[in-house]
Amino acid sequence: MILARVVGTVVATRKDPRLEGKKLLILKPVSPDGQDENGYVVSVDTVGSGVGERVIAVSGSSARLAEGCKDTPVDNAIIGIVDEVHLD
């Protein structure tokens, strides 16, 4: 699982029917101390997060275990909104 910041949304009309009604967000991975990391990912939102929020994203087949993603063609899902990160 990675930490990421929501930086945008994706709208797609033509898509797999199993993705209908799913919110797609653009994520920028961030390090635990808040610095941006390389790349972007498109992720399915399952917790109701919004732009600017720091979230936890899960990738791979585990993303299908997220709420409402069973048997859907999804490989990245947001499964939590971060309150606080504590580094020792």
Site membership for another protein, residue 46 (CB under 8 A):
yes
Question: DSSP letter at 36?
Answer: B
Nearer to another protein, 14 or 66 (CB): 66
Q: Please tell me the distance from the alpha carbon of residue 60 to that of residue 79, in angstroms, as a whole number.
A: 13
Site membership for another protein, residue 61 (CB under 8 A):
yes
Is residue 7 classed as helix, strand or coil in its secondary structure?
strand
Site membership for another protein, residue 81 (CB under 8 A):
yes
Number of residues that bind another protein (CB under 8 A): 33
Task: Return the residue of 14, 48, 52, 71 that touches another protein, per CB under 8 A.
Answer: 48
Question: DSSP letter at 14?
Answer: S
Query: What count of Cα atoms within 13 Å lies in the side-chain half-sphere of residue 16?
Result: 9
- Residues that bind another protein in the complex, under the rule CB under 8 A: 1-3, 31-32, 37, 46-49, 56, 58-67, 69, 77, 79-88
